[in-house]
Amino acid sequence: MLNAENDFPATPDLVIPPISGETTVTDGESTIELPPVPAEFAGDKVAAWSEPLIIDTYLPVEPEDYPAFLENRVYQGSSGKVYPLPFHERIEQEKRPYAWDAIHLENEWVRLVILPQLGGRIHIGYDKVADYDFFYRNNVIKPALVGLAGPWISGGVEFNWPQHHRPGTFLPTDWEIEREADGAITVWCSDHDPMNRMKGMHGIRLRPDSSVVEARVRLYNRTDATQTFLWWANVAAAVNDDYQSFFPTDVEFVADHAKRAVATFPAVDGHYYGVDYPAQVTAERPDGDRLDWYRNIPVPTSYMVVATQDDFFGGYDHGLEAGFVYWADHTVAPGKKQWTWGNAEFGWAWDRNLTDGDGPYVELMAGAFTDNQPDFSFIAPGETKTFSQFWYPITRIGAAHQASRDAAVRLDVTAGADAGTTVVIGVAATRVVAGATIEVTDAGGRAVFTASADLAPSQAYRHELRLDGGYRASELTLTVRDGDTVLVTWTPRDPAEDTATPAPATEPADPASIASIDELFYTGQYLDQYRHATRAPEPYWEEALRRDPGDVRCNVALAARRERAGRHADAEAHLRTAIDRLLARVPNPADGEAHYRLGITLVHQGRDAEAMDYLAKATWNDAWRVPAGHALARLHARAGDLAASRDALLELLRHNPEHLQANALLALALRGSGAVAEADRVLAEQLARDPLDQWTRHLAGLELSTDAPTLLDVALEYAETGHTDTAIELLATAVSASTDTALGQVQVAPLAHYHRARLLDAAGRTDEAASARQDARAADSRHCLPSRLADVAALEAALGADGTDARAAALLGSWYYDKKRYTDAITVWQAAAEHAPDAQTAALVHRNLGIAAYNVQRDPAAALEHFAVAVGHAPQDAKLLYEYDQLLARTGATPADRLDRLEAHRLLAGRRDDLTVVHAGLLTAVDRANEARELMLGRVFQPWEGGEGQVLLAWQNACTALAEQDLAAGEPTAALAHVHAAITPPESLGEARHPLANSADLHWLLGEALLAAGDEPGARAAWTLAAHATGDFIDMTTRRFSEQTLFSIRALRRLGDHVAADTLVDEFDDYLVELAGTPARVDYFATSLPAMLLFHDDPQSVHDTYVHTLRSKLGELTASSTASAVSAAAPHRQ
């Protein structure tokens, strides 16, 4: 990536192979050693320099070669589609010292380390005064499978956009150091998001006189379509039993993801995430119901503030008397959230997955243009959103009650028994304030305490005083001033009156059940805006159009979705219908969106002249003046009319002077007309606003990014404005850069060649175009997937020129499939299979055709045939082996047959966690549980977040099978050992049992083993635990009953409590009747679905099978219980 102001040699981007830095395996404790400030900056008030930082690192294993079509994956409450990114499924087991590019930023109070290669995150935030990491310092880079595309690391500050977590969280950014006239320094990090190609940039600023860390954010939509986004700065803080997260005192309620549940705050009045918080309150733990203490939260838990009028929150370690404050204007940045893995074995297992020795953390996230996750806002074409967020360390004052950018305060007021009042004042300032005035006034404005004190980040103020008379806290106001300037003021709030709990969000009704077209439109818009993973917006809009075919909003909305999928003719039809309605009575509609979108759709169909009229009409409406003006300017430039292009650009820049592409194109137009000095001025002003806009940098002759996808974006910007030769040159630069594509980034070399071919064909240079297509076929295509509509046009042009181009067909098919153009995908994949030039291509397209055959065509036999061909072409591919096995499991293969196949590829199967879990499960199923146990003990597993439990279940099944074998063989001691191993699994499994998961089966079996060993009291104690187990946690949600209920019934019978057992049987049976009558639906509010299934199972079939299985087992249990009762009664009847 682009490095500016390198004071030391930069290390290469994270590329495998080769790996830069040391390759020696590291043993023992890891510690980051920060280098001293270089001599040349030692006297600076703020020092900033680049110097590689050696950090022990567990690198991700190279991602899989195959596209991940995870259409139904739920991730962080919205769509978990990963396309076009490669998908990582494994992290290296051993750490090695790695030299990461690092930008060091330091002043008198604070030291920061920024890692551009990891999404531009702040890795270290260190309070030099308190010798305290106010941001969690992770001394290793240890990714776990938490991210959208796999690798994700804990610690520091992760800047999440345009969704959570950041798709490019493990990808490099460009960076530059900006030195300001007042001595402040900003470190800028920028990239194009890999999903929609928008530009996001954040700048970390330190000022010479302040301990405040500022994140200056600029988000730019460089596409022609309205996009959705969210922004969450994800701050990690190291926690222990003394750590408290503090929020404004007017926060009464917090909400879960998507506001699916709401809880009182800070004390929870009831259940939250399945935990009965009031039940945690004891004499020894009087605050056990409070969510602001990490120690009280046993399960993975998110909570987000529902409402507050304040601008701050933060965290404080009462043991170390240090913490931090976050501040931002809540009208722009309302989001305030805490997340924890939970203070129990389940969460501690995740802590181990993410660090070697730095312990647990919480995430204190700060959102802008969002207050929940998922909660997306809109950003228009060409729009720039700018805002700032601020953090600073505090010491000695405790959890803040109020804060500004200048200071944080705490005011504790305690009425005494003798009518006096004790007041404790705490003030922490972010800069030196000599002789600050600290004043407490009563409700009438009379000063009851005044003091003068010198404040500084190194000098907090804390004072306890005694006031005569009794005061309520709300009758006192604390004010801190620097001369006449108020730094912060705080009046404690009276306890809130009983406030009604806000209603949680509800699932929208099916389209046919919604009465109004208005509600149908907005429901669809909501689903589209929030990128819902399991509900599509189209059925709502289509239902509206069934009732009113001319509805403008629904036609425009459907057109936008069709255009996104490259269905230009369909989009055009919807837009013309909308425009007919708009113009039925007036020639000048109030809204220009339909005209704008039709203009863009026509451009994509090569109908530029026709498009101009619609775009010009769209500029009559202010909301669309800028996007339409930019599109018009591009068309004029492409037509060679520089004067018209310049005029259109000047007009739109009057309304949006920060439009990056318009300014760059204006500079081109000015140069073309000979106004070179004016063009240079435009570029200089643009670089002052955004020093990392790559089109502007290229025009200014500056060093460019080394990120090939970004260079491809710039080349296409030249191409679409008629600058063909420059575009072709930049495409060649992108190809060169692609040889060093960062690990996890999209490979664009074939795409760049195909774009070059299309441009050369258009220029009449057909021989060169044919050569470019040949280059595309020869280029490295691993991890190459098209994502832009321009990519699709280039690939379609390539197939038009040569229908036997299997490379173009394979790539195009993947894009079609991702956009649910299944028939088109199958057609081009079949062509690719027919003309596949090598085994790699043949394996890929047959694998893809197998997926389509099963998921789309509902033809399992064809799916099996395609996968057999794919595996034949790539017999040593572990990914294919796993997917083929999953297909076999769905098409009737027996466990023995599947096991034979895996046993024939034992080494191959051992390369993957999922295959190892399957292998172990099959071994247990064929009575080879001891082999299953040994197989699992020989591997360190790495679970996916949300997919926990699968490894644990395979381990538990093997252990319980062994225990049952031991009991049958009369070996209770061995049985006990196996049951205990199931209850307390080894850390190598990578996961622990969820605190809400029901383990009645294990405790029932433990009782059986203890009884066999002659320990009846121990057996009864174990059965009692099983009998009292209630509920369960399955598929990331709580259940009232599950298969575990059967073991509670067994345990009750063992204890002789047949009445309770019969009652539980009846309750379970009623539940199954209710469950059987409930239609199967994927949980609308799912935050994460545990299985990222490549093959789509029918939810109703899965549901019915589950109910049938439980009914059968309950029937067997009750039948056996009846038989036992009859047998026991028989002697008495004789």
pLDDT at 254 over 50: yes
Segment 421-441, tens digit of pLDDT: 999 999 999 999 999 999 999
Q: Which two tokens stand for residue 77?
A: 């409450």
Question: What CA–CA distance (Å, rounded) separates 309 from 331?
Answer: 9
pLDDT for the residue numbered 250: 97
End-to-end CA distance of the chain: 90
Q: What is the pLDDT of residues 683-708, one digit of tens each?
A: 999 999 999 999 999 999 999 999 99
Residue 569 sits at the vertex; the CA angle it makes with 564 and 572, to the nearest 5 degrees, is 80
CA distances from 1092 to 48, 72, 1124 (A): 43, 8, 44
- Tell me how far apart the alpha carbons of residues 441 and 652 are, in angstroms, rounded to a whole number: 53
Name every residue whose Cβ is closer than 8 Å to that of residue 1098 and which is 6 or more positions away in sequence. Answer: none
The values of phi and psi at residue 433, to 5°, are -130, 105
Alpha-carbon distance 934 to 927, whole Å? Answer: 14
Residues 456 and 429: beta-carbon distance below 8 Å: yes
How many CB atoms are closer than 10 A to CB 780? 12
How does residue 77 score in pLDDT terms, banded at 50, 70 and 90?
confident
**pLDDT score at 72:** 85
**Maximum CA pair distance of the chain?**
116
Mean pLDDT, to the nearest integer, of 841-868?
98
For residue 136, is pLDDT > 50? yes
Q: Give the single-character DSSP code of 509.
A: P
Q: What is the distance between the alpha carbons of residues 1103 and 1081, in angstroms, rounded to a whole number?
A: 9
pLDDT at 1125 over 60: no
> What is residue 945's predicted lDDT score, i.e. its pLDDT?
92
Structure confidence at residue 501 (pLDDT): 92
Q: What is the pLDDT of residue 1132?
A: 35
User: Percent of the chain scored above 90 by pLDDT?
Assistant: 92
Answer whether residue 26 shows pLDDT above 80. no
Residue 15's pLDDT band (boundaries 50, 70, 90)?
Answer: very low
The predicted structure's pLDDT at residue 20: 39
Supply the pLDDT for residue 224.
98
Q: Report yes or no: 777 and 805 within 8 Å, Cβ to Cβ.
A: yes
Q: Which residues contact 475 (CB under 8 A, 6 or more apart)?
A: 442, 443
Q: Average pLDDT, stretch 965-985?
A: 98
DSSP reduced 3-state for 305: strand
Q: Which pLDDT belongs to residue 1133?
A: 29
What is the H or E stretch that residue 196 is in? none
User: What DSSP character marks residue 303?
Assistant: E
How buried is 709 (Cβ within 10 angstroms: 0-12 exposed, 13-18 middle, 19+ buried)? buried
Percent of the chain topping pLDDT 70: 96
The residue ranges of DSSP E strands in 221-344, in sequence order, are: 227-229, 231-238, 243-246, 253-255, 262-264, 271-272, 275-276, 301-305, 312-317, 322-327, 335-340
Cα dist. 645→196, 634, 744, 813 in Å?
Answer: 26, 7, 39, 36
pLDDT of 1128 over the 70 cut: no
Position 1083 scores a pLDDT of 86
Kindly state the helix (H) or strand (E) to which residue 945 belongs, with its residue range.
none
Pairing of strands 144-147, 312-317: unpaired
pLDDT in tens, 163-213: 999 999 999 999 999 999 999 999 999 999 999 999 999 999 999 999 999
Could you give phi then psi for residue 522, rounded to 5 degrees?
A: -70, -30
Q: Are strands 53-57 and 140-141 parallel, antiparallel or unpaired?
A: parallel
* Stronger pLDDT, 834 or 19, i.e. the higher one: 834
Over 80: is that where the pLDDT of 858 sits? yes
What φ, ψ does residue 384 adopt, rounded to 5°?
-115, 125
Q: Flag whether pLDDT at 888 surpasses 60.
A: yes
Question: What confidence score (pLDDT) does residue 1 get?
Answer: 73
What integer is the mean pLDDT of 274-303?
97
Does the structure show a pLDDT above 50 at 19? Answer: no
Half-sphere exposure of 891 (CA within 13 A, CB side): 22
pLDDT exceeds cutoff 90 at 280: yes
* Model pLDDT, residue 17: 35
Beta bridge partners of 202: 189, 217
Q: Is 2's pLDDT higher than 80?
A: no
Supply the pLDDT for residue 43. Answer: 92
The owner of tokens 């802008």 is: 368
pLDDT digits (tens, 9 = 90+) for 1016-1032: 999 999 999 999 999 99
Give the integer Cα–Cα distance in Å for 1033 and 1029: 12
Give yes or no for a contact between 227 and 379, defined as CB atoms under 8 angstroms apart: yes
Query: In the structure, what pLDDT confidence band is assigned to residue 7 with cuts at 50, 70 and 90?
Result: very low
| 495 has a pLDDT exceeding 90 | no
Mean local confidence (pLDDT), 373-402? 98
Q: What is the pLDDT of residue 867?
A: 98
Which amino acid is residue 971, in one-letter code?
A: E
Tokens 């202010």 correspond to: 622
Residue 464's CB: how many other CB atoms inside 10 A? 10
Could you tell me how many helices (H) and strands (E) the chain has, helices first? 33, 41
Question: Mean per-residue pLDDT for 1104-1122?
Answer: 90
Residue 24 has what pLDDT? 65
Amino acid, res. 476: L
**pLDDT-derived band at 946, boundaries 50, 70, 90:** confident
pLDDT for the residue 1091: 54
Determine the 3-state secondary structure of 568 from DSSP. helix
**Average of per-residue pLDDT across 1069-1074:** 95
- pLDDT greater than 60 at residue 666: yes
Rounded Cα gap, residues 1060 and 1006, in angstroms: 21
Which pLDDT belongs to residue 12? 36
pLDDT tens by residue, 579-610: 999 999 999 999 999 999 999 999 999 999 99
d(CA 470, CA 641) in angstroms, rounded, equals 80
| Cβ contact 230:160 at 8 Å | yes
Per the prediction, the chain carries an average pLDDT of 95
**CA–CA–CA angle 820, 881, 902 (5° rounding):** 150
